[in-house]
A and B are shown apart, each in its own frame.
Chain A
Amino acid sequence: MSPVPTPRAAAIALYRTMARIRAFENAAEEASKGGVAAFGASLADARVRGPLHLSTGQEAVAAGVCAHLARSDLITSTHRGHGHTIAKGASIERMMCELFGRASGYNSGKGGSMHIADFSVGMLGANGVVAAGIPIAVGAAHALKIGKENAVVACFFGDGAINRGPFLEGLNWAAVHRLRILFVCEDNRWSATTATEAMTAGEGALARARGIGLDGLAVDGNDVFAVHAAAGELLAKIRRGEGPQFLHAVTYRLKGHVSVDPATYRDGEEVSRALQDDPLAAAAEKLRAAGVGSEALDAMRREAEKEVSDAVAVASGAPWPDPREAYTDIQDSGAGRWLG
């Protein structure tokens, strides 16, 4: 059990971030119903189209790590990236507009949930390919080194990513070049619809990182204060120039792989236990024990829900992209030569 950090405002801010992520994803999930034909669901006219990967239950990782990052610090994320994006400081309204496919979304409707990005806050993009953000984060950290900049990079990926080649390549590269990067394995224990444990040999993510020469910490990824403390320690080392570090945060994916996936392949008891270990409830309990009133916590949740419902209202009425925008932001050389 990790203590509530001081000052108390910082601890409350962690809770607020988690509450905002949870509210955002609950609303996005509701708006995605019927948005993708998979897992027996049929395609209907949903407001959020296509696969929507929810990080419900994993909010403590995004909140605990990003609380240490300045706007000039950079992150890369995964297909399950709403939490990281919100925690890094993106606007919930513009994110919702993007999920709704509207012109005022962060990506002008070109990316959606899987490619959500806000470069203005140093969020260099979610990614539809597992582990693909790792080399990009490494390159961004290398650019900071070349530019002799003090900023750092946090690279989020899941437990599935540790079985892909870029994990080995990227960690090795970061260690060889002593880059200012924190690798965060947000371990939700499921690789799409397969238990990661069944498909992963050896002692796990941190052992692999250590095998490549990185140091790091393993932490209860459902305890936001523990994540916050561990990430703080590792980021301080990175900022002191001690090389890349690795954080293995073990959490649990409370929802299916995508929002329409009922995840019937999971053991009901496993899910019931996980629901008892909700990171928001755990953080609230600790904050109450530290003297924060229930009313204040309830008010924060209500504020988050209001912010999100306002965002949904804005996104629902926001203009669609002009179809001609399908032909912009592709390339300058040969622009216009779309058919030959």
Chain B
Amino acid sequence: MNYAQAACAALARAMAADARVVALGEDVGRGGIFGQYRGLQQRFGAARVIDTPISEATIMGAAVGMALAGLKPVVEMRVVDFALCAMDEIVNQAAKARYMFGGQGRVALVARMPIGIWSGSAAQHSQSLEAWFAHTPGLVVVAPATPADNHALLAASIACGDPVIYMEHKELWGVEGEVDEREPGAIGKAKVLREGSDVTVVSWSRTVHAALEAAQQAASRGISVELIDLRTIWPWDRETVLTSASKTGRLLVVHEAVRPAGFGAEIAAEVAERLAVRVKRVGGPRIPVGYSRPLEEQARITAGNILAALDGFN
């Protein structure tokens, strides 16, 4: 099962189990532009898999209204770059309604907004903005790297009752992997993908795959990497990271988002405040993503970037 099919299967299960779960967004009836809604409108009908105009603010705002009226909407924003047209609805409405109204209403919704560089798609279709949302009280931020996690975490996100910013990656849709549909997901739980003793590497989303490649290469140079897929950006699994970093004494955080004020800074700071470990970060340069291949490559995080950072630890 690939990453897109895994999410589709999770959503189908949730819709079959709970009539309050609905999906809405542009092109969802035709299966979504990445196939992540394929077959759902045929199965559940146009009343529950709702095609919408290109109206991001109202897609998101209507989902808030649906949630306050008792539904559990799954919102399609197509890409995170377009979700910026709905920032008021996400930040001022979805994230705060429960609090502002003194707990009178809850906003149980999942807003899917894929992050990351999408080859050749240039500056407005290639951003990784997870830190923006992690900075907003009230929101949960999830970023699955594998088909198994896209299944389990989408299910967990729909079930959790909070507004969830659900960030798939634009270049992971075709990634294949084993998916156990009975596997329950847990928001806030990282996964140790590889045990090691010299350096703890924390990553999420697409760069997990680059980090895995780097860890394998590092092993051949005698560097033992413990690789953690964070999976949830907020609330991030501090305990797993601290436990690993206290063991290895070195922490490297890797993400595709630009490095300055990226979420890696938060992890590095939190760990440095608690442990006497060396911390480093790998993140994108603070540049818009260029169209032309040599420009785009400047923004990509590769196994080579990660390996260079690992080599730089002493």
**Interface residue? A137 (CB, 8 A):** yes
Question: Contact at A138–B100, with CB atoms within 8 Å?
Answer: no
**Interface residue? B58 (CB, 8 A):** yes
Size of A's binding interface in residues, CB under 8 A: 51
A176–B54 CA distance with the chains assembled, in angstroms:
12
Question: Contact at A146–B22, with CB atoms within 8 Å?
Answer: yes
* Smallest CB gap from B67: residue in A: A139
**Interface residue? B99 (CB, 8 A):** yes
A147–B164 CA distance with the chains assembled, in angstroms:
23
**Interface residue? A228 (CB, 8 A):** no
Instruction: Given A136-B61, A333-B188, check contact A119 B104 (CB 8 Å).
Output: yes
A318–B139 CA distance with the chains assembled, in angstroms:
32
**Interface residue? B307 (CB, 8 A):** no
Question: Contact at A166–B57, with CB atoms within 8 Å?
Answer: yes
Binds B, one of A108-116, A215-223, A241-249, A281-289: A108-116
Instruction: Given A132-B88, A140-B69, A337-B235, check contact A107 B101 (CB 8 Å).
Output: yes
Residue of B62, B101, B137, B140 touching A119 (CB-CB under 8 A): B101
A139–B109 CA distance with the chains assembled, in angstroms:
12
Instruction: Given A110-B100, A334-B235, check contact A139 B61 (CB 8 Å).
Output: yes
A119–B68 CA distance with the chains assembled, in angstroms:
9
Instruction: Given A135-B60, A337-B235, check contact A125 B100 (CB 8 Å).
Output: yes
Interface SS, B side: mixed
Among B199-244, those with CB < 8 Å from A are 234-235, 238
Instruction: Given A108-B102, A108-B103, A132-B88, check contact A143 B65 (CB 8 Å).
Output: yes
In the complex, chain B residues whose CB is within 8 Å of the CB of A169: 53, 55, 57-58
**Interface residue? B105 (CB, 8 A):** yes
* Smallest CB gap from A108: residue in B: B102
Instruction: Given A108-B102, A108-B103, A119-B101, check contact A172 B161 (CB 8 Å).
Output: no
Instruction: Given A135-B89, A143-B66, A143-B70, check contact A330 B137 (CB 8 Å).
Output: yes
**Interface residue? A322 (CB, 8 A):** no
**Interface residue? B187 (CB, 8 A):** yes
> Of A111, A136, A173, which is in contact with the most chain B CB atoms at under 10 Å from its CB?
A136
Question: Contact at B138–A331, with CB atoms within 8 Å?
Answer: yes
In the complex, chain A residues whose CB is within 8 Å of the CB of B69: 74, 124, 139-140, 143-144
Among B103-157, those with CB < 8 Å from A are 103-105, 137-140
Question: Contact at A333–B57, with CB atoms within 8 Å?
Answer: no
Among A118-153, those with CB < 8 Å from B are 118-120, 124-125, 127-129, 132, 134-147
A105–B102 CA distance with the chains assembled, in angstroms:
9
Among A196-215, those with CB < 8 Å from B are none
In the complex, chain A residues whose CB is within 8 Å of the CB of B50: 142, 177
* Smallest CB gap from B162: residue in A: A331
In the complex, chain B residues whose CB is within 8 Å of the CB of A146: 22, 47-48, 66, 71
Residue of A109, A124, A134, A138 touching B105 (CB-CB under 8 A): A124
Starting from the known contacts A135-B62, A146-B66, 8 additional A-B residue pairs (CB-CB under 8 Å) come to A74-B69, A105-B102, A134-B58, A135-B64, A136-B64, A138-B62, A139-B66, A340-B238
Could you write out 6 A-B pairs with CB less than 8 Å apart? A109-B102, A111-B100, A125-B101, A132-B89, A143-B70, A331-B140
Show the binding face of B for A, using Cβ within 8 Å.
22, 47-48, 50, 52-53, 55, 57-58, 60-71, 73, 88-89, 92-93, 97-105, 137-140, 160-164, 187-188, 234-235, 238, 266, 270
Show the binding face of A for B, using Cβ within 8 Å.
74, 76, 105-111, 115, 117-120, 124-125, 127-129, 132, 134-147, 165-166, 169-170, 172-173, 176-177, 328-334, 337, 340
